[in-house]
Chain A
């Protein structure tokens, strides 16, 4: 394996590349989709491919091919070099990479239950149990989809600077959705399970626990009312805090987006949030969905402090952006597959817990909303965020009241972070998938959090 990669790197260096990296990936996937208990298809995929990234005259060239032999790889890497050279013709500021230490390592995944050793019959039966619990919960639950994916593989990374890493990877993922209908009202509920530890995640997130949670939410939403649109105090559950940290703040702190004009660029080292706000991105949490030992530039992952007591303390960096900011890379360069280039992505992003109990957070609110679980979220460089909510309740006179359907919150990140006035002592991380052109597996989370006021949009 290594010999073929070395030849490709040599060829690019002979061409005159300043930097060359070859990433070769082998993957085995098992996938299932069940709709109302019907196994649509039991699916498997075997794939491999190489991603070749070169820096020539200060511009990037990239090639991806699905064939691994010396001839194909050498021709692809030279193709990448030529393309980089062409692209460099219009360069104003050549790209430089910050210097890093060369690493040699071999990373082996240790799981209690290796998904590739579990017969597909067992995975089908687990998914069917999930389905049966959901459809059996209440006859108003009308549809249920269970998607399952496991992926195991090995990445081989070789750079012209002497780094060589063989890193195994493992992901187990399930997405469960249900709809309920009553008197013309449609509700929708979803949960995700994700882990890098192994199939043992289903011993904790059992079909019984997750299935009931999904079904119960779909049914309870049937009697929920629409929120009043407007500005209200709110308590956010850890699931919503997580997506808020990820969308409203995290993307702006990805250094490529910071440089692209995100509102954080002028705020480094400055106070942007209330004192209770401390954010981290951490790629080292064992088994968490966004964890791995090295990133796709061969940089070890780390726990990166992003905001400390309301002050912007750091960003997530590639070697390229670290050079621009005169700092060190943070192990956040990730690629969905060998078909694409690595870009800066979050890993496990969260807010640090503080000292309040849930009752204390809610008790002072005369009227507001408890936003417990999200449906989706999105951010913009100007700091506008939106988080759609799948489970919410009114807070009336300091107590959680009736359920509310299809709420969402939005606002400006900087204005909203200053209004975070208390954080709970609880903590939870949730797995999810983030889209930034490519999909990345991540975790988000935090404690319960109170916001003095936030714009709540309801349905008409």
Chain B
């Protein structure tokens, strides 16, 4: 992969800011992104394709008379188009409406220092190397049991770099790597098909374990065979990390974003200092976590990322802010502005949402709960009520736990409730934390979840 140079990227964004300022911007910001990704994909039991995607572009935000305009392009080799893009941002700002709450772009501050976010070995990987890793994963799944059908998956390696500059002194560059493998499998036996069983492993350095992913996806698929319906009643539930991530992404994570709070869309508004979760819940938004999938030196506005305590021993401590929402309250950004590459303006988003692990082993958690469900994935979490935290989802795949042991897979069990009650009913956390998307968390044990079965 051809890796871009720091000097080149920084000079491009600084020139863009200069050009915008010269052409009438009160303030200007330029963000340059480059992503190089190589993938090898598995389809229906075989390695069937490989791809390479090179994506780079520039997004320019300008402010004229307190109105914001934004424009992007990926045609960077053409200087006339880059200049036209910047002029378009200016004309859109002029066409837009004044925002009386607009204060200013963030001032330049030293970047944070981060560890474990870049590994030159990931950059060096060739598609042959990825085929080998994908084969290890596929073999592990297929050798497990002949009832396993690996339907899709793959291995991907990415090198991402970005540079940002603004007219208030921000000029930053950072680069990082991500390598990831994933496999979705089903179990098939006598006309029965299991729900999709998925496993994955993503890291910032060359330390993924494709064999474990293949083996675990296959183990789940086999174990999901012979599913039975369950009774309607309130029960104890263990949420594994995937299920927890789905549940929290559409509810709790939104509720702690400052723009949701300021816009009356959060049930946490005005409740800082209150107990909102059980005593054993402590959550950080940790933009600096070593090797975290969302760990970077600075956020989408060039503000250094940081570690912010969200909930400490059940008490709500802080919300997360970008520069705009922070200045509205006269405080500092928490470094939580995120961008979708060069295609968007920054939005408030969690970095690594870290629910601190407990001290019980997963086996202890299962044996202590006695009876209940262990839920791996939720279907329909995106249809939760984002404002109230109410959800009504299908737990699939999920398994029944009886006498402290995982017994059989369940079929079509719905879980309904409110995520804010779930937080208060977390009675134990395991010691098996892992990274799933933006969440870092262990398994959690939740009392009194309503299950709708037969």
Contacts and interface: CB of A to CB of B under 8 A. Distances in A.
B194 to A, nearest CB: 6
A142 B186 contact: no
A375 B76 CA distance: 40
Contact of B47 (A65, A90, A458): A90
A457 B394 CA distance: 9
B209 interface: no
A253 interface: no
Nearest to B151: A260
A187 B396 CA distance: 27
A259 B48 CA distance: 14
Given A63-B52, A83-B51, A266-B191, A457 B74 contact: no
A262 B196 CA distance: 10
B114 interface: no
Interface stretch (A7-15, A44-52, A106-114, A362-370): A44-52
A420 interface: no
A261 B135 contact: no
A166 to B, nearest CB: 20
Given A61-B51, A119-B95, A260-B151, A382 B186 contact: yes
Interface in A332-382: 339-341, 374-382
A120 B40 contact: no
Given A341-B51, A386-B383, A460 B92 contact: no
A59 B48 contact: yes
A377 B382 CA distance: 8
A382 B97 CA distance: 50
A185 B388 contact: yes
Interface residues of B, number: 92
Which label, helix, strand, loop or mixed, suits the secondary structure of the B interface? Answer: mixed
Contacts of A387: 380, 383
B383 A381 contact: no
Contacts of A455: 412, 414, 452
B417 A459 contact: yes
Given A40-B68, A92-B45, A376-B383, A381 B193 contact: yes
| A interface, size bucket | 35 or more
B426 to A, nearest CB: 16
A24 interface: no
B152 interface: yes
B51 A229 contact: no
Contacts of A187: 385, 387-388
A66 B416 contact: no
B102 to A, nearest CB: 9
Given A86-B128, A91-B47, 12 more contacts: A42-B95, A44-B71, A46-B81, A61-B49, A62-B51, A143-B265, A186-B267, A230-B452, A339-B53, A375-B383, A386-B393, A408-B416
25 contacts: A38-B101, A39-B68, A41-B96, A42-B68, A45-B343, A59-B49, A60-B50, A64-B55, A66-B57, A67-B77, A83-B38, A83-B51, A83-B127, A90-B47, A95-B48, A119-B95, A142-B265, A260-B149, A263-B193, A340-B53, A380-B396, A382-B194, A388-B383, A457-B452, A459-B418
